[in-house]
Amino acid sequence: MLIYDLDFSELTNIVSSWGQPAFRARQIWTGLYKNFWAAPDEFTNLPKELREKLAAEIRFEVLTPTLKLDSSDGQTRKTLFKLPDDRQIEAVLMRYENRRTLCISTQVGCAMGCTFCATGQMGFTRHLSSGEIIAQVLYYARFLHAENDVVTNVVLMGMGEPFHNYDNTMTAIDRLNDPQGYNFGARRFTISTSGLVPAIRQFASEKRQVNLAVSLHAVENTLRSSMMPVNKKYDVEALIEACREYVEATGRRITFEWALINGVNDTPEQAKKLAILLKGLLCHVNAIPLNPTTGYEGKATTRERADIFKQVLEQNGIPCTIRIRRGIDIQAGCGQLAARAT
Ligand code: SAH
Ligand code: SF4
């Protein structure tokens, strides 16, 4: 049993089954989610026998950091973690002006098989539990707390497809959202999906305040299917239809992600087609020059081609940002996470 897999009522039941008063559960919850205590002996406000019981019955050490890498500019830190079953995942902290953004994983590997993505290239091993997702956030919350700093944003853009692990991902978000716990606002989360249409519909119907990003990368179905096998099941038309339903149901803006690959999906004609596809949809496009991975030949677009791509989109009414590449020297960029001890 992992401590962060428990919700408050489960924890309360366990603590009372040990003959402890109910307020002990609240003390433990506060210790975990407000003080970021990570081991039973840090809970000095609890009686010694309860601390020992906790240590004996519940696993507190969910993630063991095995490697910490800082980018040369000191703004990005990637941590490789070992899970209780010795599998490995990665999570990245990016500092940018006042932002402290965490990019966390939802699966070990990924089943979606996007050709240009290091996680896709490694295949799928397993889902993460809600507690394993939460533990990544609390690890960095504790790390930043020691510097009098806080996490400001969490993006579910690390290893894995969050909508393939829907329930555990939403449970993790809800638990981190708890006002009596970590109290992290839903609007400060962003979920990124490769385009699992039924999950987008479900997400839309739940009307959450969480931001949604959709990895598009191509407008033509043949090209998109060759890059992202998920497109064979849910094609571009079905995907955009679900996105329109999402915007209608929630009134929230969607982000479309586009990894710019030289000569593949970065021409002005493709930008024009993209603008036509997205016409009238409350959205913007986040374009990012492709990050290198060992299993894919494609190269990043040049700055000039990226600027033209953006210009064409904007002339056609679609806002576009070219994202700066972060943490490339430590393989912490988008699509570079593969839990290798490089
Ligand atoms: N599975 C989800 C979230 C994790 S991937 C998804 O695919 O959306 C996070 C983002 O990185 C996605 O937009 C993905 O398409 C992008 N990405 C993957 N490989 C990349 C690469 N080599 N260079 C740039 N972006 C990449
Ligand atoms: Fe999975 Fe996202 Fe990588 Fe595609 S881009 S393989 S969906 S992690």
Q: What is the pLDDT of residues 64-121, one digit of tens each?
A: 999 999 999 899 999 999 999 999 999 999 999 999 999 999 999 999 999 999 999 9
Exposed e or buried b for every residue in 148-177, given b needs 16+ CB within 10 A?
A: eeebebbbbbbbbbbbbbbebbbbbbebbb
Ligand 1 center–CA 191 separation, angstroms: 12
Collapsing DSSP to helix, strand or coil, 341 comes out as coil
Residue 267's contacts (CB-CB under 8 Å, 6 or more residues apart) are 309
Compute the distance between CA of residue 93 and CA of residue 153 in angstroms, rounded to an integer.
Answer: 10
Tell me if 120 CB under 6 Å of ligand 2: yes
Ligand 1 center–CA 163 separation, angstroms: 14
The residue written with tokens 């406000």 in the block is 45
* Mean pLDDT value of segment 172-190: 98
Tell me if 227 CB under 6 Å of ligand 1: no
* Nearest in space to 176 (alpha carbons), one of 139, 202, 206: 139
Collapsing DSSP to helix, strand or coil, 95 comes out as strand
- Residue 227 has phi, psi (to 5 degrees) of -95, -35
- Which segments of 169-251 are extended strands (E)? 189-193, 211-215
- Kindly write down the DSSP assignment for every residue of 302-323, as one continuous string: PHHHHHHHHHHHHHTT--EEEP
Per-residue confidence band for 153, with pLDDT thresholds at 50, 70 and 90: very high
Q: Strand 124-127 and strand 107-109: pairing?
A: antiparallel
Q: Which domains does the chain show, CATH number per domain? A: 3-57 (1.10.150.530), 64-330 (3.20.20.70)
- pTM of the entire structure? 0.97
Compute the distance between CA of residue 283 and CA of residue 320 in angstroms, rounded to an integer.
Answer: 9
Assigned token pair, 78: 């990637």
Amino acid present at 326: R
49, 75 Cβ separation under 8 angstroms: no
Give the range among 13-27, 278-292, 326-340 with minimum mean pLDDT. Answer: 326-340
What is residue 342's predicted lDDT score, i.e. its pLDDT?
44
What is residue 340's predicted lDDT score, i.e. its pLDDT?
64
* Mutation to probe ligand 2, out of 121, 194, 217, 294 (largest number of atoms < 8 A from CB): 194
Tell me if 120 CB under 6 Å of ligand 1: no
Q: Which ligand is nearest to the CA of 295?
A: 1
pLDDT in tens, 201-237: 999 999 899 999 999 999 999 999 999 999 999 999 9
pLDDT in tens, 229-274: 999 999 999 999 999 999 999 999 999 999 999 999 999 999 999 9
Question: Residue 325 burial by CB count (10 A; 0-12/13-18/19+): exposed, middle or buried?
Answer: middle
Is 90 annotated in the active site? Answer: yes
Assigned token pair, 183: 């109290």
